[in-house]
C-alpha cells in the first residue's frame, strides 16, 4: 500500500476480493486477558463494498467501503468484549455497496486488541530504605537485604533512610493501577521501597504476573525470587512477566522498587480470567468472604 501513502500498518493491507453476499471469518485464539476493546482498521476505495461485522454471531457494526480514491478508512470500534473462552471470532458479510462503487472488495489494515487491565488495588508499603552508590554504575539498595525481605511483620518499626523510623502503611493504587512512592521521598533521594500483598485462592493454579516499575524491581513470590529488572526506565504497565504457582489458600507477593532519582512507583496485576484470586493487606479472610469466588458466566 506504499503507493497510496504511509498510513497502513507495515505498508500492507489484507485484501479480500469478495462479491455480493460473500462471507468470511477471522478467529483469534489464545487470548489471555479478561476483556478487550477491539478496533478493526479498514481501507476505503472505488471498488470497496459495505460490510456487516459480527462478533460471536452478533452484529456490532458496518464498514462503508466506498471512497473515490484508496485511503485508510479509520476503524470500527467494539468496546467491552468479555473473553470467556480464550479467544474470539469475527465474521464479515458483504451487505451491498454504494451506487458509485465498482465492486465489493474488503480491505483490512489490522485488528487492535486493547486489554481491559485489572490491577491489584491496595498494598502494604514501606520505605524509603537507603540506596547508596556502590560503584559508578550500580547502587547498593537492590542487593541489600532489608527486613521486609526476611519477613513481613506489620507491627515492627525499622530504621530507614537517614535513620527515619519506618512502618508499614496501606496505599491504594490510582484509577489506572499506578502505585506511587513520590510523596514518601522528601526531598527526592535515591531510595528503596517495598510493597506487599497477600493472595488467597480456593484453588491451585498457574498464573501470569505482570509488572511495570520506575526504576528497577525485584519480585519475590512466596519468598522465592521470580523476576528482576535492573536499571532506570520509563514506567509502563506490563513491562515484565513471570509465571507463578498460586497455591490453594494463602500466598505472599513482595515487590522491591529502586528509585535512582525522579519518580518512583509500579504497576502490578495477575491475569485471572476466572476471577479466582482475592487480595488482602492482612493475612486473614474478612468475615463476609464468600466460600467460592464468583466466576464469569455467559
Fold (topology level) of 2-115: Jelly Rolls (2.60.120)
Determine contact, residues 84/298, Cβ cutoff 8 Å.
Answer: yes
pLDDT at 293: 47
Q: What are phi and psi of 190, to 5 degrees?
A: -70, 130
pLDDT tens, position by position, for the chain (298 residues)?
A: 999 988 998 899 999 999 999 999 999 999 999 999 999 999 999 999 999 999 999 999 999 999 999 999 999 999 999 998 899 999 999 999 999 999 999 999 999 999 999 999 999 999 999 887 655 556 677 888 999 999 999 999 999 988 899 999 999 999 999 999 998 887 667 899 999 999 999 999 999 999 999 889 999 999 999 999 988 788 999 999 999 999 999 999 999 999 887 889 999 999 998 889 999 999 988 876 655 544 433 3
Q: Where are the domains of the chain?
A: 2-115, 122-280
pLDDT at 140: 73
Q: How far apart are alpha carbons 17 and 15 in whole angstroms?
A: 6
Question: Are 2-115 and 122-280 the same fold in CATH?
Answer: yes
pLDDT at 285: 83
Q: How far apart are alpha carbons 192 and 258 in whole angstroms?
A: 5
DSSP 24-75: EEEEEE---SSEEEEEEEEEEBTTB-EEEEEETTEEEEEEE-B-SS-EEEEE
Tracing cell 505498508 back to the chain, one arrives at 11
The full 3-state SS of 165-223, as one line of letters, equals EECCEEEECCCCCCEECHHHCCCCCCEEEEEEEEEEECCCEEEEEEEEEECCEEEEECC
Tracing cell 493487606 back to the chain, one arrives at 281
pLDDT at 290: 56
Of residues 22, 127, 13, 122, the one with CA closest to residue 73? 13
pLDDT at 131: 84
pLDDT at 296: 39
Radius of gyration, CA atoms only, the chain: 25
Exposed, middle or buried by CB within 10 Å (0-12, 13-18, 19+), for 180? middle
pLDDT at 261: 79
pLDDT at 215: 87
Three-state DSSP at 247 gives coil
pLDDT at 168: 97
Fold (topology level) of 122-280: Jelly Rolls (2.60.120)
Q: How far apart are alpha carbons 236 and 39 in whole angstroms?
A: 21
Amino acid at each position: 500500500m506504499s503507493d497510496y501513502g504511509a498510513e497502513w500498518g507495515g505498508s500492507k493491507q489484507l485484501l479480500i476480493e469478495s462479491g455480493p453476499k460473500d462471507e468470511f471469518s477471522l478467529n483469534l485464539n489464545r487470548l489471555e486477558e479478561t476483556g478487550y476493546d477491539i478496533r478493526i482498521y479498514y481501507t476505503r476505495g472505488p471498488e470497496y463494498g459495505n460490510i456487516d461485522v459480527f462478533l460471536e454471531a452478533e452484529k456490532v457494526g458496518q464498514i462503508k467501503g466506498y471512497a473515490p480514491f484508496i485511503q485508510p478508512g479509520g476503524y470500527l470500534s467494539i468496546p467491552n468484549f468479555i473473553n470467556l473462552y480464550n479467544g474470539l471470532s469475527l465474521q464479515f458479510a458483504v451487505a451491498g455497496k454504494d451506487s458509485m462503487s465498482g465492486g465489493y472488495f474488503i480491505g483490512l489494515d489490522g485488528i487492535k486488541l486493547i486489554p481491559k487491565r485489572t490491577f491489584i488495588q491496595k498494598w502494604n508499603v514501606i520505605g524509603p530504605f537507603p540506596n547508596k552508590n556502590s560503584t559508578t554504575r550500580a547502587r547498593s539498595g537492590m542487593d541489600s537485604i532489608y527486613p521486609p525481605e526476611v519477613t513481613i511483620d506489620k507491627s515492627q518499626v525499622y530504621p530507614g533512610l537517614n535513620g527515619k523510623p519506618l512502618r508499614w502503611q496501606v496505599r491504594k493504587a490510582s484509577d489506572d493501577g499506578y502505585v506511587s512512592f513520590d510523596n514518601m521521598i522528601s526531598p527526592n533521594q535515591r531510595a528503596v521501597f517495598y510493597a506487599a500483598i497477600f493472595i488467597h485462592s480456593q484453588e491451585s493454579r498457574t498464573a501470569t504476573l505482570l509488572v511495570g516499575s520506575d526504576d528497577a524491581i525485584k519480585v519475590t513470590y512466596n519468598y522465592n525470587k521470580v523476576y528482576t529488572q535492573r536499571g532506570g526506565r520509563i514506567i509502563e504497565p506490563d513491562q515484565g512477566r513471570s509465571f507463578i504457582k498460586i497455591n490453594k489458600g494463602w500466598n505472599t507477593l513482595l515487590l522491591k522498587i529502586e528509585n535512582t532519582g525522579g519518580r518512583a512507583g509500579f504497576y502490578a496485576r495477575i491475569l485471572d480470567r476466572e476471577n479466582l484470586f482475592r487480595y488482602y493487606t492482612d493475612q486473614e479472610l474478612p468475615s463476609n468472604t464468600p466460600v467460592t469466588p464468583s466466576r464469569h458466566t455467559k
